[in-house]
Amino acid sequence: MSQVIQWYPGHMAKAKREAIEKMGLVDVVLELVDARIPESSRNPIIPEIIKQKPSIIVLNKSDMADAKLTSEWIEFYRQQGKTAVAIDALHNKGIKPLQRKINDLMAPYFEEQKKKGIKPRAIRLMILGIPNVGKSTLINRFVGKNQAIVGNKPGVTKAQRWLKINKEFELLDTPGILWPKFEDPETGKKLAITGAIKDSILHIDEITLSLLDYLRQAPQTLYLTKYNLSQDEIEELTTVDLLLLITKKIGLKDNYEEASQRIIQDFRNNSLGRITLDRPDVSEEFE
């Protein structure tokens, strides 16, 4: 379920500590992000937590993102020496290719082990990410109907349960939850648009104006059809005037607050098409 957490410094320190603790137990970290905002939904201190641990950036909700931009993001990460894959955990897409990537990542290690006469064992995974990126959904997809708890690891304060995915993989039953980025207002707006942070933190009309700006720059123009607009008609409008026009077109007279709610809702349930708000070329530096 979508969860809204208020993050205070104490919570952050605790979340970080717990994530670092879990790190010692796993072979591969799956860093889950929202494919519509791969950079904005990435916790800023993840590299500090993961360090040299093998990891994969998993762009989830790819069903809602612009397919071309998702490919560009994957290529962008590849150039940075990182493995990234796109999945759609909700509709169970891309899970097998993700598992193959995990195998590829671990192959050299198991090769080394084999030389020493050590048999390969199940690869231990954990999922890490900010709230609402789909961590629980992915865990459910991984485990499917054959949920089986492999066993508790004694000696750790909180018993860690391992879910057996198949012969090859085991997954920590609880994901690492980290906080979203707060510093940059643009990032905050993108997180709000996608529903990753509480709506009330920002004004709904402010979020909507920001979304309309993105829609105007987006490669596809489904929103024009949706709100009965023509390119000519909106060409010269300010974004505020565009919001007022849409409000009128959807029959809400001057209730632009409600119109804003409607537009955000339309974006979130994909009625405006597949739109990615983060672009790899304009993103800030990563580490």
Residues that bind ligand GDP (CB under 6 A): 1-3, 60-61, 63-64, 88-90, 129, 131-137
Among residues 181 and 234, whose Cβ is nearest to ligand GDP? 181
Among residues 86 and 209, whose Cβ is nearest to ligand GDP? 86
Among residues 242 and 272, whose Cβ is nearest to ligand GDP? 272
For residue 170, the minimal CB distance to ligand GDP (Å) is 19
d(Cα 134, Cα 277) in Å, to the nearest integer?
Answer: 18
Among residues 88 and 170, whose Cβ is nearest to ligand GDP? 88
Paired tokens of 16: 């970080």
Contact 171, 65 (CB under 8 A): no
Among residues 40 and 247, whose Cβ is nearest to ligand GDP? 40
Please give the residue whose beta carbon sits closest to ligand GDP in the complex: 134
d(Cα 12, Cα 89) in Å, to the nearest integer?
Answer: 26
For residue 88, the minimal CB distance to ligand GDP (Å) is 4
Paired tokens of 254: 């001057």
For residue 103, the minimal CB distance to ligand GDP (Å) is 22
What does each C-alpha distance from 171 to 36, 56, 80, 176, 209 come to in angstroms?
A: 26, 14, 27, 12, 41
Among residues 62 and 208, whose Cβ is nearest to ligand GDP? 62
Q: Which helix or strand (DSSP H or E) is residue 18 part of? A: helix 9-23
Among residues 90 and 252, whose Cβ is nearest to ligand GDP? 90
d(Cα 46, Cα 42) in Å, to the nearest integer?
Answer: 8
Report H helices in 43-175.
46-50, 67-79, 95-115, 135-143
Nearest partner of 41 among 50, 51, 49, 31, judged by Cα: 31
For residue 130, the minimal CB distance to ligand GDP (Å) is 7
281, with CB counted inside 10 A (0-12, 13-18, 19+), is: exposed
For residue 57, the minimal CB distance to ligand GDP (Å) is 15
For residue 175, the minimal CB distance to ligand GDP (Å) is 7
d(Cα 182, Cα 180) in Å, to the nearest integer?
Answer: 6
For residue 83, the minimal CB distance to ligand GDP (Å) is 19
What does each C-alpha distance from 5 to 70, 125, 198 come to in angstroms?
A: 28, 24, 8
